Amino acid sequence: MNNEKEYITMLHGAGGIIMHNLVKNYIVKYFGNATVDSEVPLEALDDAAVVGDMVLKSDSHVVKPLFFPGGDIGCIAVAGTVNDIAVLGAEPYAMACGFILEEGLAFSDFERILSSMRRMCLEA
């Protein structure tokens, strides 16, 4: 049994060819024709969309441990999203974020992550 062909693994969210194939073979299959007129349609397999004069970007990040030398999940979340916007020649204007909070996460750790996110937003 080849798990890569039957089950989603961490590799499917790690970028590279495996993630590319997941988007191409599954997501585009259901949403490829549902995009609005944009300069970077879903079929282009880019990770942001240019609609009019706006670049729209949504991203999710998972890392374990949450804190590591030189950064944390908050830094990665903001910097990764801002980088994807910058690659398309745009400047960040606003950011939306969502949180999937694991039961048992200490509020002190959550505040540390939020503080890191704020610091990265101000630097962007």
Q: Are residues 29 and 51 in the same domain?
A: no
Residue 60 is predicted with a pLDDT of 84
User: Which residues, given as ranges, of the chain have pLDDT below 50?
Assistant: 1-3, 40
> CATH number, domain at 104?
3.30.1330.10
Based on the domain organization, do 56 and 116 belong to the same domain? yes
> Beta-carbon neighbour count of residue 2 at 10 Å?
6
Residue numbers of the domain that contains 7: 1-34
pLDDT of residue 71: 95
Q: Are residues 53 and 27 in the same domain?
A: no
Predicted local distance difference test score (pLDDT) of residue 1:
41
* Domains contained in the chain, number: 2
Residue with tokens 């004069």: 53
| pLDDT given at position 100 | 84
Looking at the structure, do residues 75 and 27 belong to the same domain, yes or no? no
Nearest CA to 59 out of 30, 92, 26 is that of 92
